[in-house]
Amino acid sequence: MSGHRRPGLWPGGLGHDHEHGQDHDEHAHPHAHPHGGVRGFLHDLFVPHTHDSAASIDDAMEASAAGIRALKISLLVLLATTVLQAIVVAFTGSVALLADTIHNFADALTAVPLWIAFVLGRRAADRRYTYGYGRAEDLAGMFIVFVVALSAAVAGWQAIDRFIFPRPIEHPWLLVAAGLIGFVGNEVVAIYRIRVGRRIGSAALVADGVHARLDGFTSLSVVLGAIGILLGFPLADPIIGLLISVSIMILLGGTVRAIGARLMDAIDPALVKRAEQALARTTGVEVVGRVRLRWVGHRLTGSATVEVDAVDLAGAGRIAAHAAAHVRQAVGNVDDFTVIPAVRSPRRTAEPEDVDSAV
């Protein structure tokens, strides 16, 4: 092979101009995230990315086990939080706290379909479901959207009823304590779900973690309602309850977009770029053609066409196998990746003037 970049045969093809032994670390994060200032803080808080291959679990069974364990633990934490808040509701009669309690209970229940989806995802592909059962995660995501929307509607109805038939709120200081309990419980769950979701590449688990984090901030709004009552404004409680319901519906839009994108096989362009770079730095790969990736649950599958510098099909097959291994190492969470090689024609490799003119 020469040290020149070869001309591409496909639109957007990548030439290969460096050796196989090059350090892979420089390609670990080919894209940037806005980590600076308030904008970066909010981005990392509510839009955590899920394709950090350096921390990913490559084994599918181990990834599913980690996801199920995260769901079990977070389910217990949220149920405990819900029980504590329900006790305070019984003492205070707060509709804002009732709305938050209902939503926390619904959020706890959303772990159940996701749990089932992780279990189904372990089943091997068969002649009917040739890609396996990983898509069950997306179906669980749709169910989560329905449950959250229903909980928002119930909480809103309770708030409106309290406007029409107001009742005094007792022990407002208990509301402050209950709101703080809700915030702490949800934030613990959010941190755990997001961390595990990033490790296993599960967008559904990360989204559920972000959802828990948002729930934590709605729990803090209960504290605001209690402060309003202490300041002599009793309508603060149903107003906060109604605002919680509206905020849940608004924030639900982000989850709907994420699930819809996954159902439409949307992929982060940075992942495609990472795969292209892994292919391009494989010894023997001259040009990288079309690269395809798709999520099947929390695992990736894909293919690519490459032009290789080989004298026969056996050599081309070995280069393709090495290139596929590089993609699995660079991207992570990849179950199947097929590289289709095409041997360069002797006529093109025998015309160095054509290569020099392309440079």
pLDDT at 1: 39
pLDDT at 124: 84
**DSSP state at residue 25:** G
d(CA 340, CA 321) in angstroms, rounded, equals 9
pLDDT at 105: 85
d(CA 308, CA 213) in angstroms, rounded, equals 48
Q: Is 294 helix (H, G, I), strand (E, B) or coil?
A: strand
pLDDT at 253: 80
**What are the mean pLDDT values of the chain's consecutive 10-residue runs (359 residues total)?**
36 39 39 47 46 48 83 89 87 76 79 87 87 86 81 78 74 81 89 87 78 77 78 79 79 79 88 94 93 88 93 91 93 88 62 38
- The neighbouring-strand residues paired with 299 are 296
Q: Is the backbone of residue 3 left (phi > 0), alpha (psi -120 to 50) or beta?
A: alpha
d(CA 274, CA 14) in angstroms, rounded, equals 12
Let me know how long the chain is. Answer: 359
pLDDT at 4: 33
pLDDT at 60: 67
End-to-end CA distance of the chain: 15
For the whole model, what pTM was predicted?
0.64
Alpha-carbon distances of 133 from 112, 118, 227, rounded to whole Å: 17, 9, 49
Alpha-carbon distances of 213 from 81, 138, 191, rounded to whole Å: 14, 21, 8
- What is the fold, at CATH topology level, of the domain defined by 50-263? Alpha-lytic protease prodomain-like (1.20.1510)
d(CA 169, CA 177) in angstroms, rounded, equals 15
| Sign of the dihedral defined by the CA atoms of residues 165, 171, 173, 174, in that order | negative
Boundaries of every domain in the chain: 14-30+269-358, 50-263
Give the phi and the psi of residue 287 in degrees, each rounded to 5.
Answer: -140, 135
pLDDT at 59: 60
pLDDT at 249: 81
pLDDT at 297: 80
| Nearest alpha carbon to residue 19 among 34, 35, 3 | 3
Which residue in the block uniquely carries the two structure tokens 């107003």? 239
pLDDT at 351: 44
CATH architecture for segment(s) 14-30+269-358: 2-Layer Sandwich (3.30)
